[in-house]
């Protein structure tokens, strides 16, 4: 069994592919993730995010491609990888008829955690669960279930944490508390892979990858992904901008018209063509136009459109 080299990346893979029943779900995926990084995966439902994450941590064997996770080979050392990974699924998967403490005891037994009683007590304290330790898991709110699930993932002190849409169905405060905890863990050296549909969560990641139809279309920091989109964007406000949207979408030079609250973001890759397209509308006194920086949502909508165009 190999030993991870000091300073080696947490994940280093090339050309991963995976198919199910003849359908290519992940296609030629390559990535390198430094240790202590929070890496976010974004993409539409069915894009291959979960399959990719499961291959990266040794839960699925790729059809082709190679690489390492935590210094261990994805194909030949999967057992070693799994022992060092904590996996939090989108749906709560612990035993609802057991108490918080009983659930953590059970998980600690599964991983043969040494000094199990102390490890459970530490996990309860670390996630603020001590006073609720006897409460049945099935009676917890979404936010408290999330804390319990995270405690269960961490009790064996993994080196890599996998989070599959971890904040679905929880309130904004619970989401913020959760992400504060994730950043604390990363600062201690834990590597985190997270799939999410929330743009504010994507911006909390150190690096991002956008996956569509099994292919990695873009990666980098949030700013790098936005800049690589090449978009120019205007924001328009005023009376009944919703009715304006269809007319704008029909204009050459305008690639996207996206509602943002009471405003529209109007974008195109060719800045001059975009300016020409909106020129007649800028003369209308009831509309207020201003140039804005494109956001992550603008960038990802364009990436999705490009992916769809390539399939047509």
| Mean pLDDT in order along the chain per 10 residues (312 residues) | 63 94 92 94 85 88 93 93 88 87 94 93 91 92 88 93 82 86 92 88 92 89 90 91 88 91 91 94 92 89 70 46
Q: Which domains does the chain have, with CATH numbers?
A: 11-225 (3.40.50.300), 231-293 (3.30.70.920)
Specify the pTM.
Answer: 0.86
The long-range contacts involving 153-156, CB below 8 angstroms and separated by at least 24 positions, are 153/86, 153/87, 153/88, 154/86, 154/123, 154/126, 154/185, 155/104, 155/107, 155/108, 155/111, 155/113, 155/119, 155/120, 155/123, 156/83, 156/86, 156/107, 156/108, 156/111, 156/113
Q: How far is it, in rounded angstroms, from Cα 225 to Cα 210?
A: 9
Q: For residue 309, what pLDDT is reported?
A: 52
Q: For residue 91, what pLDDT is reported?
A: 75
Task: Give the chain's largest Cα–Cα span.
Answer: 73
Q: For residue 312, what pLDDT is reported?
A: 44
Q: For residue 279, what pLDDT is reported?
A: 94
Q: For residue 3, what pLDDT is reported?
A: 54
Residues 6+ apart with CB under 8 A from 141: none
């Amino acid at each position: 069994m190999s030993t991870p080299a000091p300073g080696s990346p947490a994940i280093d893979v090339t050309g991963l592919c995976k198919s199910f029943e003849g359908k290519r779900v992940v296609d030629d995926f390559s990535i390198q993730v430094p240790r202590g990084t929070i890496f976010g995966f974004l993409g539409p439902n069915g894009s291959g995010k979960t399959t990719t994450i499961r291959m990266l941590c040794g839960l699925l064997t790729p059809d082709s491609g190679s690489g390492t996770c935590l210094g261990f080979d994805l194909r030949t050392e999967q057992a070693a990888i799994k022992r060092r990974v904590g996996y939090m699924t989108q749906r709560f998967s612990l035993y609802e008829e057991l108490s918080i403490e009983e659930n953590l005891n059970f998980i600690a037994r599964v991983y043969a955690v040494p000094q199990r009683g102390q490890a459970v007590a530490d996990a309860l304290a670390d996630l603020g669960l001590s006073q609720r330790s006897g409460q049945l898991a099935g009676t917890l709110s979404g936010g408290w279930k999330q804390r319990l699930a995270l405690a269960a993932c961490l009790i064996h002190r993994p080196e890599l944490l996998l989070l599959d849409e971890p904040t679905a169905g929880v309130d904004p405060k619970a989401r913020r508390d959760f992400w504060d905890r994730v950043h604390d863990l990363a600062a201690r050296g834990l590597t985190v892979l997270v799939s999410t549909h929330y743009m504010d969560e994507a911006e909390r990641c150190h690096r991002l990858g956008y996956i569509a139809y099994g292919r990695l279309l873009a990666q980098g920091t949030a700013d790098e992904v936005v800049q690589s989109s090449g978009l120019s964007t205007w924001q328009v406000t005023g009376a009944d901008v919703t009715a304006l949207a269809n007319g704008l979408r029909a204009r050459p030079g305008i690639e996207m018209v996206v509602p943002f609250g009471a405003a529209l973001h109007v974008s195109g890759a060719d800045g001059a063509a975009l300016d020409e397209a909106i020129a007649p509308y800028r003369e209308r006194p009831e509309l207020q136009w201003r140039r804005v920086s494109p956001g992550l949502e603008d960038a990802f909508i364009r990436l999705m459109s490009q992916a769809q165009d390539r399939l047509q």
